Structure 1
Amino acid sequence: MVMSQAIFNDGNVVVEPSHLRVRSEQHQQASTGSGVLHRSLHDDPLQVVSAEGNYLYLNNGQKILDATGGAAVTCLGHGNRRVREAVMDQMNTVSYCHSLFYATSAAEELANLLVESTDGEMTRAFFISSGSEAIEAALKLARQFHLEKQPSEPQRTHFISRHQSYHGTTLGALGAGGHVARRKLYEPMLGVKSSHVRPCYRYRGADAFHEDSAYVQLLEAELEAEFQRVGPANVAAFLAEPVVGAALGCVPAVPGYFQAVRRVCDKYGALLILDEVMCGAGRIGPEPSERYPNPLHAWQDPQFGVVPDLMTMGKGLGGGYMPIAAMLASKKVVDVLTSGTGSFSHGQTYQGHPVACRAALEVQRIIKHDNLVANVRKQGMLLGELLKDRLGSHPAVGDIRGKGLFWGIEFVANKTTKEPFDPKDAVASGIHELGMQDPHNISLYPGTGTSDGARGDHVLSAPAYTVAADDIRQIVDVTANVINQFFWAKNGDRSV
């Protein structure tokens, strides 16, 4: 008997061992004796033998529509020729050198491109291999900033984030985040001083308010109260995603929220760290404005309207062609270090890896040259409209929300009360597994803990920036079919 995977460590599905379900006959397979420590030790995953465009080809003959780009990663789709050639060119030049001693044009050009994309608001970029590492770097740099500024404030060691937030799997990033289920196993080891306020989550938090402004006032007051509780002079930074990805399922902050957060941080001298590992690099299709006519970053969208002190990038930065993430630091932060020690007291072996930087540089050049953020806005609007049209009235669909090519569907047992399903039902993982079977052959990104960190299910759709309208229609059609079949099989519901 082969059981469903229990995934604890990447920000998507958390399934307790007692809740594991039998997989379908199609996906059952005996262990091949793999030497890899896969996400599950109960069975080996199917192997991808090739990938092209929006599709993954598996060793069992299936052709899977990758409607989520993995974890909102493959922003250009699979097998982009220009990126492949850029990577090979870099490998023919230099594949690795230690950043303590050397620089490369790949890292320098990528940093300059990203700094320029912020209109100079960020002035330095730090390149590492994953989003978790980017968050670790941001936490460390926030600490160093308060140590080196004048007057120094060494007591600023506390970080405030939000409940149901997810910022990475390394111990520092996990400690700073607020997802109960993901923290649970490692709670005794988490050393970061942190606390959490409620998320800006309109579907579950704003029922009592007719206007977003009143909801924002409540959240601002709660954040201010938390500063007071821990001592305003002890807070190093506030950390949040502009659009919450895996933890809540593509929940954008309401207009005015981040301006309120910025006010509180500035009032008490704390930094604002924006985590754009999942929602950044064009993923939400930020709207252009007079100040940012060609926006790339989520914080540049007028809906959010703030400039962070530190920001992180990840998944869409390199599009999955190489492991790479980045932390970008504002002029305010960099100036303090320049006037102080003149260095960031942190470093890693693969920091600024030339091949990774060259891959990301080409990905970002393609996004800019091909005006793909505009396509994200266009196709994202269609994706949202079609999802709401096909699934908005489904009795098990509580909310459909998102921005750009980053949409989430939240499932509820009771549409009126918004009661989530029992975790034993494993709704999100069940929908994902059904989608992976014939005749659907689609990958939907599942998530749990949506409601309170332990209960609640959602799936994400995050296709490549290159998708056309026909691709969007196919994704919505198949997604709706999967959801309808899952709930029909579960309780005889043939709605929609």
Structure 2
Amino acid sequence: MSQILHRSIAGGYPTAVSGEGVWLIDSDGKRYLDGSGGAAVSCLGHGHPDIRAAMHAQIDKLAYAHTSFFTSQPAEELAEHLIARAPNGLSHVFICSSGSEAVEACLKLARHYFVERGEPKRIQFISRRQSYHGITVGALSVGGRMKDRAPFKEMLLQGHHIAPCYAYRDQRADETLEQYGLRVADELEAKILELGPETVAAFVAETVVGATLGCVPPVPGYFKRIREICDRHGVLLILDEVMSGMGRTGTLHACEQEGIAPDLMAIAKGLGAGYVPIGAMLASSQIIAAVRQGSGAFPHSQTYNGHPLACATALAVQQVIERDDLLANVRRQGAHLERRLKERFGNHHHVGDVRGRGHFWGIELVADRASKTPFDPALKLHARVKQAAMAHGLMVYPMGGTADGNAGDHVLLAPPFIADAAIMDTLVERLGEAVDAAIAGAF
């Protein structure tokens, strides 16, 4: 019996013992194609020699120095690297250890900004239903994945939610994609006016929705309207690119493809590629100026902020991605993955939608393709798909509650940036076998 409090106490897990490129190997020698990058984390695959060398070099110099006493060269160099490539207006970096921590920092800095500006009534945060922003209390409060919120609802902070940008289920027959996007974006303005603009601090959104909906990109014009609404009412825009950012969708930041920049941004996962726990908040010069002219301090810190080993490792990851032009590979092989997924599932009776960008794709499973009716949640089809995929030597990231928080199933794919066409072909082949086996086993 394991002494670890695992995610599921009921069953066991295979033991991972090594990794080679896009493969993980368990203690029985079985190889698994990492088709989801774990949780969209392992963008460089496993055991990359350059990253191992960077980690060794840093640990020989300095592993840890508390940020209340020192800064460090790796932290300074990582911040410089990130800001040099950041969306317009972002000027400073707060380095933490996870995506949840990065979102939490965004929420607290947004609130602190308005206190510094003499607008203390701005305490409300608006986000979207069917979103996920992390598992800490603050991040869970703004998140819209109801099954995660339910056990803790009495202790969560007040949050306000509007509709997601989810055209597959919510676009009307009489609307173009652009008209649909403007309609759901305008829900933000209605909610701001309902709450009172003077009380709203920020709107929080995933640029491309990850785990809860399965790689749903925004429709054209949606985020430009969101940006206009935020600016009109003095509301900050916080983009959560923990899963979709750092190259995952084919550009370093997913919002580049929307033609906008946020006031605050959360990144993680692909930042350190899974070699170390690391996340970061990127903040705009406008926000930093208000703090500098006010108290001069951000009242938020954690023990492992700016950890030198984590920073050196993340910097090496980002340098390898840039040196090897891996974002070009993400765009090239992402197009191949899209084509192969649509060939395999485009007419599948139980796949309603194939969507995504770059190396970030999802398929939505349905009981009936024509009506888009989800499978009965009691079947837990997403869990069956994961089990079948593991049996076929494939790691994918399925989730339930896709359609409405209760019913619906999808499978998320986030292969490493180093994957080639042959790996994508193997991924789709094994996924097809797993989906068919899971559906057959459910009846």
TM-score (norm 2): 0.98
Distance 2:382 2:91 in 1: 40
* Equivalent position amino acid for 1:299 in 2: C
One-letter amino acid of the counterpart of residue 136, structure 1? E
Q: Is the 8 A contact 1:209 1:215 kept in 2?
A: no
Q: Tell me if structure 2 keeps the 8 A contact 1:249–1:459.
A: yes
Alignment partner of 1:250 is 2:218: no
Aligned to 2:256: 300
Q: Does the 8 Å CA contact 1:249/1:410 hold for their aligned counterparts?
A: yes
Separation (CA, whole Å) in 2 of partners of 1:164 and 1:232: 24
Give deviations 1:320-346, integer Å, cap 9, x for gaps.
000000000011111111111112110
SS in 2 for 1:450: coil
What is the aligned partner in structure 2 of residue 21 from structure 1? none
Partner residue, 2:415 = 463
Q: How far apart in 2 are the matches of 1:241 and 1:367?
A: 23
Deviations 1:76-114 (A, max 9, x none): 000001111111111111100100110111000000000
Indicate if the aligned counterparts of 2:379 and 2:442 stay in contact, CA closer than 8 A.
no
Indicate if the aligned counterparts of 2:88 and 2:261 stay in contact, CA closer than 8 A.
Answer: no
Match of residue 400 from structure 2: 448
**Residue 136 of structure 2: aligned partner:** 170
1:488 has 2:404 as partner: no
- Alignment match, 2:51: 83
1:435-476, Cα deviation, whole Å (9 max, x unpaired): 111xx2111111111111111100111100011111111111
Contact 2:87 2:256 in 1 (8 A): no
Matched, 1:126 2:86: no
Matched residues in 2 for 1:209 and 1:239: separation? 29
Q: Look up the equivalent residue of 1:455 and give its one-letter code.
A: A
Contact between 1:163 and 1:178, CA under 8 Å: does it hold in 2?
A: yes
* Stretches of structure 1 lacking an aligned partner (at least 5 in a row): 1-32, 287-295, 492-496
Equivalent residue number for residue 111 of structure 1? 79
Question: CA offset at residue 119 of structure 1?
Answer: 5.7
Structure 1 position 399 matched with structure 2 position 349: no
Q: Is residue 285 of structure 1 aligned with residue 239 of structure 2? A: no
Per the normalisation by structure 1, the TM-score is 0.88
Q: Distance in 1 between the 2:421 and 2:128 partners?
A: 36
Alignment partners' CA distance in 2, 1:478 and 1:213: 35
Q: What is the deviation of 1:388? A: 0.7
Moved over 6 A (4+): none
Q: Hey, what's the Cα distance between the residues in 1 that align with 2:383 and 2:441? A: 15
Structure 1 position 181 matched with structure 2 position 181:
no
Corresponding residue SS for 1:243: coil
Question: Corresponding residue for 2:66?
Answer: 98
Shift of 1:306: 0.8
1:16-31 alignment to 2 at 5 Å? none
1:135-214 aligned within 5 A: 135-149=103-117, 152-191=118-157, 193-214=158-179
Amino acid at match of 1:257: Y
Q: Using the alignment, how far apart are the partners of 2:87 and 2:126 within structure 1?
A: 28
- CA-based RMSD: 1.1
Q: Secondary structure at the match of 1:480?
A: helix
Amino acid of the residue matched to residue 187 of structure 2? E
Aligned counterpart in structure 1 of residue 296 of structure 2, from 322, 342, 367:
342
Report the equivalent of 1:51.
19
Q: Which of 351, 356, 363 is matched with 2:317 structurally?
A: 363
Mapping for residues 401-480 of structure 1, pairs under 5 Å: 401-437=355-391, 440-480=392-432
The corresponding residue for 1:241 is 206
CA distance in 1, matches of 2:311, 2:278: 7
Q: CA deviation at 1:211?
A: 1.4
Once the two structures are superposed, what CA deviation does each residue of 1:33-81 show, in whole Å capped at 9, x if it has no partner? 2111111112221100111111111113311111111000000000001
Contact preservation (8 Å) 1:412, 1:421 = yes
The answer as to whether partners of 1:115 and 1:121 remain within 8 angstroms in 2 is no
Q: CA deviation at 1:312?
A: 0.6
Letter in 1 for 2:440: W
Q: Which residue does 1:292 correspond to in 2? A: none
Aligned to 1:260: 225
Question: C-alpha separation between the residues in 2 aligned to 1:486 and 1:448?
Answer: 14
CA–CA distance in structure 2, aligned partners of residues 134 and 119 of structure 1: 17
1:139: Cα distance to partner? 0.1
Corresponding residue SS for 1:348 = coil
Structure 1 residues 308 and 120: alpha-carbon distance in aligned structure 2, compared to 1, 3 A threshold = closer
AA aligned opposite 2:256: Q
Structure 1 distance, partners of 2:108, 2:326, is 33
Cα displacement string for residues 264-285 of structure 1 (whole angstroms, at most 9, x for unaligned residues): 1111111000000000000000
Report deviation, 1:223.
1.4
Partners of 1:311 and 1:446 lie apart in 2 by 26
> Residue 206 of structure 2 contacts residue 241 of structure 2 at CA under 8 Å; is this kept in 1?
yes
Q: Residue 233 of structure 1: CA displacement?
A: 1.0
Amino acid at match of 1:211: T
Amino acid at match of 2:409: D
Residue identity opposite 1:75 in structure 2? C
Gap regions ≥5 residues in structure 2: none
Q: Distance in 1 between matches of 2:88 and 2:259?
A: 16
Q: Which amino acid aligns with 1:430?
A: R
Mapped partners of 1:216, 1:476: distance in 2: 30
Give the secondary structure class of the aligned counterpart of 1:244: coil
1:488 deviates by: 3.1
Q: Hey, what's the Cα distance between the residues in 1 that align with 2:61 and 2:155? A: 42
Q: Figure out how many residues of one structure are paired with residues of the other and give that number.
A: 443
Once residues 131 and 319 of structure 2 are traced to their aligned partners in structure 1, the CA distance between those partners, rounded to angstroms, is: 31
What amino acid sits opposite 1:297 in the alignment? H
SS in 2 for 1:249: coil
1:32-71 equivalence runs, <5 A:
33-71=1-39
